[in-house]
């Protein structure tokens, strides 16, 4: 296993900022980390990539003292450290920005930063000192955040900045970021990368945990690839390519962008006119949008999350009723006739919701029960008023085979499946009844690269079979890879419509930020 | 003049009735702010009431009674803490188990020890109760309606525990919003993961909060059996623990609004006792039962939405477990 390297004399080369030696960790029968070793040089950005479940988060939680490794050593600046708790990690100069921010939502920025390092029993003195120091940090690293604003009122990008400030305030020299761009717009992500570069130039070390190859290529100096709990490769970023990294991650060749032929749109299947949707508080979320989706095309809705896409999707699916406008499907005006999700389903409208766990599945139910949710009253699921268990199981096994759902066990609890396999099952359920129109929110949120390819192929096959597909995604790559026509939403309005051939990441990014595009609808 | 006296006396009664509610509500505030639902207020108070009365009867010292009341209440709190924080059990179930256990255990022990039908002996010896403290010149001042009567009835003339409860409001507000402990306590009830990643023990904080709740419930229970009345009787808390919890929610988990809620509940209670048998214009004599139900009806109405949305600490009721 050991790699031959010319061993530098200790005095000549500086010790790596962070070095992991043969970290091993098991959770019961799961071998989450298998003898992981890698090192991060001072003043560098080190990428850690791998699919969901490859063991990246476990590893970083071990480094941050959340979990204890079964064996292995952590070295910081050439000294072995025993990290048994976050407190130890902080003392060793390790800071972590979690994917789900560790912020107290109803505290101010200042209160969040000093939590745990208040500097005395009374708050007043500590707050004053922290304010001075944070203002200095903000100047040094261009990390401006309003210190007295309550965190829940800040946009996600700024909340993340608070997390970084927290780490710097604790004098972190090594900063670990776990999937930091999952919640950011492309522009916010760029700003984050600027910030990370500045930190690197100041001599800090950054570990970037992600599954987005584009980010690895954009910012890291070296990258370590993990698969199934083990390191499968470590390379200098400059010498590799996304394709090579993806292959290492998945263990086989993958297509990052599924090939497709030009679309041949047919008749209009779904027509939306002047649709207005308000939320529970009466705030207008969708401001009179109009568009159509035709047979044999994929229409993609791009936009930073929270700009009305979710509400639009829910209004189309019948979960939320619009306050104005019309939705035409099969000569029915869904709004005027007040048709609910079940009636819409009967008219050939299928819906794969954005938030799978909230609206798409019941995680504690078995896969076979999830595979009939919403269709449980159909004749083939029932016999004499009772569920036809045998038929449901057979049908589910069939769907699992057709959609490569692994493991193919209909009786298994859905939460035991990975995100990608859950999503494949939901998709299988929705297309099994042969709908004419498919609404798909975030087709591959929380889905591994391998499964992304499968799902994308499936969606394009559906298009080619003459279905009308409406896809909402915050991943620009996905929109660009799938859609034939792209609508961009900002502030509840469609601010632009672009044919795929004319769309670039830059033009879409600008429109997403609210700059009106040409040919705005 | 007659009405004025009546009002002053009703307000004085309000203060006395509000005391155990306030002590329990502030107790609950510490526990719930840390993220642990405090349905056990009732049981802890009742246990303390019994222990205080029993020890005071045995030793002749109200102070010994107070110590016993606090001791028993803290012990019960630790039982709940072990079940819910250490073992991550269901907070409602653990608290209700303690409530039910205490409701039966108190009278049973009283019967075994004192053989008085489930009560403790009447506390009538010197020093067995916390009695009213009369402030200098209060008796003389009471002769003058204004402001003398206010001084005599509202400021003076209460027992020590009433003043303790009153002082607790600014004190707890200070602890909660001005100290390191308060900041961490509020944080752990909102997002325990944030506290954990900041390197602070979630378990340690929650235990501290629960013990504080135990101490305050101990004082509240002691007040019931050795100050407000002269001995322990079966079910003497009569739902005050739950009422305190309602006041806490009504007060949005904040000290001063919670004080207001406790005073409001107590006022309806004091008013109810004044109204018994009084022939009112238009409605006539209101049945006693209806009057006694008034505070509870008010609670239901207030909590049913007349107070606007009360936002609970975000992590309340959820045992903390590190993510896998």
**Which of A64, A102, A115 has its CB closest to that of B184?**
A115
From chain B, the residues in CB contact with A118 under 8 A are 180, 183
pLDDT of residue A404: 87
**Which of B180, B196, B198 has its CB closest to that of A121?**
B180
Average pLDDT, chain A: 89
Q: What's the whole-number mean pLDDT along residues A424-430? A: 93
**Which of A27, A87, A114 has its CB closest to that of B199?**
A87
Decide which of A7 and A327 is more confident: A327
Sign of CA dihedral A313, A315, A318, A319: positive
Q: Which residue has the tokens 């929380």?
A: A446
Question: Which residues of chain B are modeled with pLDDT < 50?
Answer: 1, 324
In chain A the domains, ranked by start, together with CATH numbers, are: 18-250 (3.40.50.300), 255-348+435-521 (3.40.50.300), 359-433 (no CATH)
From chain B, the residues in CB contact with A120 under 8 A are 180
How far from B274 is each of A287, B3, B292, CA to CA, in Å? 59, 12, 11
Q: Are A150 and B186 in contact (CB under 8 A)?
A: no
> Residue A440: which region, alpha, beta or left (left: phi > 0; alpha: psi -120 to 50)?
beta
CA atoms within 13 A on the CB side of B148: 10
Cis ω for the linkage preceding B76 (within 30 of 0): no
Closest residue by Cα to residue B271 from B303, B297, B241? B297
Count Cβ atoms below 10 Å from residue A363 Cβ, excluding itself: 15
Q: How far apart are CA B49 and CA B55, in angstroms?
A: 10
3-class SS at A66? coil
Q: Which residue pairs from A216-219 have beta carbons closer than 8 angstroms and sit at least 24 positions apart in sequence?
A: A216/A47, A216/A49, A216/A242, A216/A245, A217/A241, A217/A242, A218/A193, A219/A45, A219/A47, A219/A193
High-pLDDT (> 70) share of chain A, %: 96
The pTM of this model reads 0.81
Q: Which residue of chain A comes nearest to B178, CA vs CA? A: A123
Tokens read off for A342? 């079940």
Decide which of B3 and A461 is more confident: A461
Task: Please state the three-class secondary structure of A386-432 as a single string.
Answer: EECHHHHHHHHHHHHHHCCCCCCCCCCEHHHCCHHHHHHHHHHHHHH
pLDDT of residue B195: 95
From chain B, the residues in CB contact with A100 under 8 A are 193
pLDDT of residue A8: 44
Q: How far apart are CA B86 and CA A113, in angstroms?
A: 28
**Helical H segments across B142-284, by residue range:** 150, 160-178, 180-190, 192-197, 202-223, 240-250, 255-275
As a dihedral over the C-alpha atoms of residue B72, residue B78, residue B80, residue B83, rounded to 10 degrees, the angle is -140
3-class SS at A21? strand
Q: Say if residue A520's pLDDT is above 50.
A: no
B194:A96 CB<8 A:
no
Task: Please state the three-class secondary structure of A339-358 as a single string.
Answer: CCHHHHHHCCEEEECCCHHH
Give the model's confidence band at A4: pLDDT under 50 very low, under 70 low, under 90 confident, else very high.
very low
Mutating which of A52, A101, A116, A170 best tests the B interface, going by the most B Cβ atoms within 10 A? A116
Question: What are the sequence ranges of the domains in chain B?
Answer: 17-240
The answer to whether the complex's ipTM is over 0.85 is yes
pLDDT of residue B324: 43
Count Cβ atoms below 10 Å from residue A43 Cβ, excluding itself: 16
Strand order in the sheet with A349-352: A349-352, A437-441, A468-472, A297-302, A485-490, A493-499
Residue B89 CB-density burial (10 A; 0-12 exposed, 13-18 middle, 19+ buried) = middle
pLDDT tens, position by position, A471-519: 999 888 889 999 999 999 988 999 999 999 898 888 888 888 777 655 4
Q: How far apart are CA A244 and CA A233, in angstroms?
A: 10
**Which of A27, A115, A124 has its CB closest to that of B198?**
A115
Q: How far apart are CA A465 and CA A438, in angstroms?
A: 12
**Which of B179, B184, B197 has its CB closest to that of A86?**
B197
Q: How far apart are CA B270 and CA A458, in angstroms?
A: 72
pLDDT tens, position by position, A382-404: 888 899 999 999 999 999 999 98
Minimal CA separation from A65 to chain B, in Å? 9
Cis ω for the linkage preceding B147 (within 30 of 0): yes
Q: How far apart are CA A350 and CA A398, in angstroms?
A: 19
Chain A, window 89-148: residues with a beta carbon less than 8 angstroms from a chain B beta carbon: 89-90, 96, 98, 100, 102-107, 111-112, 114-118, 120-124, 126
């Amino acid at each position: 296993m050991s790699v031959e390297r010319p061993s530098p004399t200790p005095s000549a080369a500086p010790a790596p900022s962070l070095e992991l030696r043969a970290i091993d960790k098991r959770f019961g029968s799961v071998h989450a980390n298998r003898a992981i070793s890698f090192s991060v040089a001072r003043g560098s950005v080190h990428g850690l990539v791998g699919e969901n479940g490859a063991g990246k988060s476990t590893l970083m939680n071990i480094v941050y003292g959340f979990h204890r490794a079964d064996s292995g050593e952590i070295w910081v600046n050439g000294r072995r450290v025993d990290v048994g708790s976050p407190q130890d990690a902080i003392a060793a100069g390790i800071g972590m920005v979690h994917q789900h921010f560790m912020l107290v939502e109803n505290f101010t920025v200042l209160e969040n930063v000093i939590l745990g390092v208040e500097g005395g029993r009374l708050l007043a003195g500590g707050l004053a000192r922290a304010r001075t120091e944070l203002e200095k940090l903000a100047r040094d690293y261009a990390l401006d955040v309003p210190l007295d604003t309550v965190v829940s009122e800040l946009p996600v990008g700024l909340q993340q900045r608070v997390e970084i400030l927290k780490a710097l305030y604790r004098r972190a020299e090594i900063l670990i970021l776990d999937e930091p761009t999952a919640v950011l717009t492309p522009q916010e992500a760029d700003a984050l990368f600027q910030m990370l570069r500045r930190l690197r130039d100041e001599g800090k070390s950054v570990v970037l945990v992600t599954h987005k190859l584009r980010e690895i290529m954009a910012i890291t100096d070296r990258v370590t690839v993990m698969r199934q709990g083990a390191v499968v490769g470590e390379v200098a970023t400059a010498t590799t390519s996304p394709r090579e990294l993806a292959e290492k991650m998945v263990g086989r060749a993958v297509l990052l962008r599924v090939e497709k032929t030009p679309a041949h749109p047919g008749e209009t299947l779904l027509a939306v006119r002047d649709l207005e949707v308000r939320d529970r508080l009466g705030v207008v979320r969708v401001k009179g949008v109009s568009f159509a989706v035709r047979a044999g095309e994929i229409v993609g809705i791009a936009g930073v999350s929270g700009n009305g896409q979710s509400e639009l999707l829910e209004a189309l699916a019948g979960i939320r009723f619009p306050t104005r406008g019309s939705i035409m499907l099969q000569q029915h005006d869904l709004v005027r006739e007040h048709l609910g999700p079940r009636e819409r389903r009967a008219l050939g409208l299928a819906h794969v919701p954005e938030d799978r766990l909230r609206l798409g599945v019941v995680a504690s139910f078995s896969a076979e029960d999830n595979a009939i949710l919403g269709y449980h009253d159909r004749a083939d699921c029932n016999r004499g008023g009772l569920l036809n268990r045998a038929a449901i199981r057979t049908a589910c096994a069939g769907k699992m085979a057709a959609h490569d759902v692994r493991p193919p066990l209909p009786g298994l609890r859905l939460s035991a499946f990975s995100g990608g396999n859950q999503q494949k099952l939901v998709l299988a359920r929705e297309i099994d009844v042969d709908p004419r129109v498919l609404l798909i929110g975030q087709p591959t949120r929380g889905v591994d690269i391998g499964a992304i390819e499968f799902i994308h192929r499936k969606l394009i096959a559906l298009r080619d079979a003459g279905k009308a597909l409406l896809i909402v995604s915050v991943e620009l790559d996905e929109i660009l890879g799938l859609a034939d026509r792209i609508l961009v939403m900002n502030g509840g309005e469609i601010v632009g419509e672009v044919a795929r051939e004319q769309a670039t990441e830059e033009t879409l990014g600008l429109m997403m930020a609210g700059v009106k595009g040409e040919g705005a609808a | 003049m007659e009405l004025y006296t009546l009002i002053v006396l009703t307000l004085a009664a309000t203060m006395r009735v509000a005391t155990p509610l306030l002590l329990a509500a502030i107790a609950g505030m510490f526990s719930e702010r840390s993220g642990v639902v405090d349905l056990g207020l009732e049981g802890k108070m009742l246990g303390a009431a019994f222990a205080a009365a029993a020890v005071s009867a045995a030793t002749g010292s109200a102070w010994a009674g107070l110590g016993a009341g606090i001791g028993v209440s803290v012990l019960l709190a630790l039982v709940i803490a072990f079940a819910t924080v250490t073992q991550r059990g269901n907070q409602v179930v653990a608290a209700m188990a303690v409530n039910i256990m205490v409701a039966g255990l108190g009278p049973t022990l009283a019967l075994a020890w004192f053989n008085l039908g489930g009560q403790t002996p009447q506390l009538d010896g010197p020093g067995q109760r916390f009695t009213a403290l009369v402030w200098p010149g209060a008796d003389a001042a009471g002769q003058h309606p204004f402001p003398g009567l206010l001084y005599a009835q509202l400021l003076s003339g209460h027992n020590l525990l009433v003043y303790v409860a009153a002082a607790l409001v600014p004190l707890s507000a200070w602890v909660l919003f001005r100290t390191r402990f308060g900041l961490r306590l509020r944080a752990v009830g909102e997002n325990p993961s944030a506290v954990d990643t900041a390197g602070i023990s979630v378990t340690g904080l929650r235990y501290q909060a629960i013990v504080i709740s135990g101490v305050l419930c101990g004082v509240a229970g002691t007040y019931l059996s050795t100050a407000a009345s002269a001995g322990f009787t079966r079910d003497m808390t009569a739902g005050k623990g739950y009422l305190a919890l309602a006041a806490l929610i009504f007060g949005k988990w904040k000290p001063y609004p919670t004080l207001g809620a406790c005073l409001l509940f107590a006022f309806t209670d004091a008013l109810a006792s004044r109204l018994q048998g009084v022939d009112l214009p238009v409605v006539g004599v209101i049945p006693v039962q209806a009057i006694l139900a008034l505070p509870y009806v008010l609670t239901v109405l207030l909590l049913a939405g007349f107070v606007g949305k009360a936002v609970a600490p975000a992590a309340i009721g959820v045992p903390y477990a590190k993510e896998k």
